[in-house]
A and B are shown apart, each in its own frame.
Chain A
């Protein structure tokens, strides 16, 4: 490797500098705010305190945190239950069609998040398509309040993150040696037992990667609860938003953000460890 092999660090430097200056430093700055007091007029009063963290643990906010976690977990489980069969079906499609199917499964993920969420307002509205459909089926009562419910929030989150889970699971499925499934059949296991004992265990890393991603993005989400929850649903993301833009309590908002980042880091590490373990990389135990 002779091309500029002498100065990889020089090549990386501008990008690294940008990320340090506009990601690492700002994040550290805002996280440091968590240790200070709120100023009288909304600014920062640089007096050390741990009060903000105590407030995060306050039942009022802890409940919102747990509630967000519950919604994020429900979203994750539903997304996996839909994505696995879809990814499996794509991996079983004719080879030439697989990249196309995958591309169209992932395409919505890259298009505008707001618009995709907004589409569900149109669908779930009291005058929306779903209510119209139910009425045309003979329902005559009051239109159902589908929007601004927890169900609407979860539907929106599942809808938005489903493509990523499909992709994550597909990528482990497609890397699986098909002879492993054949070997299982050959050794006497039917299709169902082959799935539970070989295919599923070997694709769990993909499930975990997709799941952690959806959970992390859901628990910190702000747009979906704001639009589909109609403000009735406070999630951590909304709480952070409020502290910075309406309540003007930046230190408390920073403490909440820190809790989000901590959750994310813990989950990512757990997933990385679990993946390494599952793929049998724990060398030297028996050697």
Chain B
């Protein structure tokens, strides 16, 4: 791990099982100060359990959770300097927006004037001042989301945990809120740990992210690093769109599949899968490279995605071509694909 910034939150070989079901299986992650960190994975991967252990609602069976070097795992939720923004927002329906915000500060036994000052300040930075006296029932989805965020932020936690914070919003609002969350994280100067199943959301918002599957940590890194250099077939498939070609590597690092031969520098012999992103496949002149025919064309505005049937893969390969390009394609056209070995990933082992 990078040593230049000390981790504010260190998850050390944490494990949790519910009866026979292992939810989190020995996960270690370092979260650095002031970063926007995403825990990403399909449902049931253990990310929510991990978040609930950070907040204190579940106790790990093994491992430690260190905040600023101090083990917080024995502490109950109310004693932890972390706050959680709940998926359902969990706004107290019998309290106004202002009372919701003040609640956490009253628990710290702050003076009334101080509470009022801090609540007012947070209300204004989150654009909620005009809604201060409303009850949660009288707010829209986006407003409730902001109140939930404000209620956690006003406590000035060392780390703010967010459980699928945008899950309940529609697509347009979600995209707007993604940027707003990032801006608020910046302004507040607080470390954010967000749980999401939406890889696009994680790519847009996170400084770094961790990919979990079946309770195990698969990869940690920046969105770019994970997108460009996925650690395994699962990550490659989970993040973005990826084409897979099953084949085998022969002597001398030559990857062979039906209709395709590719010299790769650092490949050991044996069965392997070649992975390449749609935008990294180029179209070549007929006769060279991998031959195929267009099975389908999907228009995406800025570009088109061609689904190309080849001998190398049972699934059509996806090729992304700019719309502005002069070439006109039609279903049934024969074409040739050029694959640059430098832009491929190779995963050893037989395909699952």
A-to-B contact residues, CB < 8 Å: 177, 179-180, 182-190, 193, 197-198, 201-202, 278-287
Contacts and interface: CB of A to CB of B under 8 A. Distances in A.
Given A186-B83, A202-B94, A283 B107 contact: no
A185 B56 contact: yes
6 contacts: A182-B86, A186-B77, A188-B78, A189-B78, A189-B103, A193-B107
A179 B133 contact: no
A180, A187, A279 — most chain B CB neighbours (10 Å): A187
B76 A187 contact: no
B57, B108, B133, B138 — most chain A CB neighbours (10 Å): B138
B93 interface: yes
A186, A201, A284 — most chain B CB neighbours (10 Å): A186
B104 interface: yes
B93 A188 contact: no
Contacts, number: 82
B313 interface: no
Given A185-B56, A186-B77, A187-B83, A177 B104 contact: no
Contact of A183 (B76, B90, B131, B134): B90
A177 B88 contact: yes
Contacts of A281: 137
Given A184-B103, A187-B103, A188-B108, A179 B94 contact: no
B76, B104, B136, B152 — most chain A CB neighbours (10 Å): B104
Contacts of A286: 131, 133-134, 138
B86 A179 contact: yes
B138 A202 contact: no
B135 interface: yes
B84 interface: yes
B208 interface: no
B55 A201 contact: no
Contacts of A184: 92, 103
Given A185-B56, A284-B138, 18 more contacts: A177-B88, A177-B90, A180-B92, A182-B55, A182-B77, A182-B84, A183-B91, A184-B92, A186-B55, A186-B83, A187-B151, A197-B103, A202-B92, A202-B94, A280-B137, A286-B131, A286-B133, A287-B134
B90 A180 contact: yes
A187 B137 contact: no
Contact of B107 (A179, A187, A278, A282): A187
A25 B152 CA distance: 59
Interface string B76-119: 11100001101110111110000000011001100000000000
Contacts of B345: none
B195 to A, nearest CB: 14
B88 A179 contact: yes
Interface of B: 55-57, 76-78, 83-84, 86-88, 90-94, 103-104, 107-108, 131, 133-138, 151-152, 155
A190 B76 contact: yes
A216 to B, nearest CB: 26
Contacts of B56: 185-186
Contacts of A187: 78, 83, 103-104, 107, 151-152, 155
Contacts of B138: 280, 283-284, 286-287
A201 B155 contact: no
A279 B95 CA distance: 10
A184, A188, A280, A283 — most chain B CB neighbours (10 Å): A188
Contacts of B136: 280
Nearest to A194: B78
A177 B350 CA distance: 47
B139 to A, nearest CB: 10
Contacts of A287: 134, 138
Contact of A283 (B133, B137, B152): B137
Nearest to B87: A179
A-B CB proximity, top 8 nearest = A188-B107, A187-B104, A183-B90, A179-B90, A280-B135, A185-B77, A286-B133, A286-B134
A139 B48 CA distance: 61
Contacts of A278: 94
Contacts of A193: 107
Contacts of B88: 177, 179
B107 A183 contact: no
A183 B137 contact: no
Nearest to B81: A188
A202 B94 CA distance: 7
Contacts of A182: 55, 57, 77, 84, 86, 90
Contacts of B93: 180, 202, 279-280
A4 B84 CA distance: 50
A189 B151 CA distance: 14
A194 to B, nearest CB: 8
A232 to B, nearest CB: 45
Contact of B92 (A190, A198, A284, A285): A198
Contacts of B94: 201-202, 278-280
A156 B132 CA distance: 49
A280 B84 CA distance: 24
A202 B107 CA distance: 19
A284 B90 CA distance: 22
Nearest to A179: B90
Nearest to B135: A280
A127 to B, nearest CB: 52
A282 to B, nearest CB: 8
Nearest to B148: A183
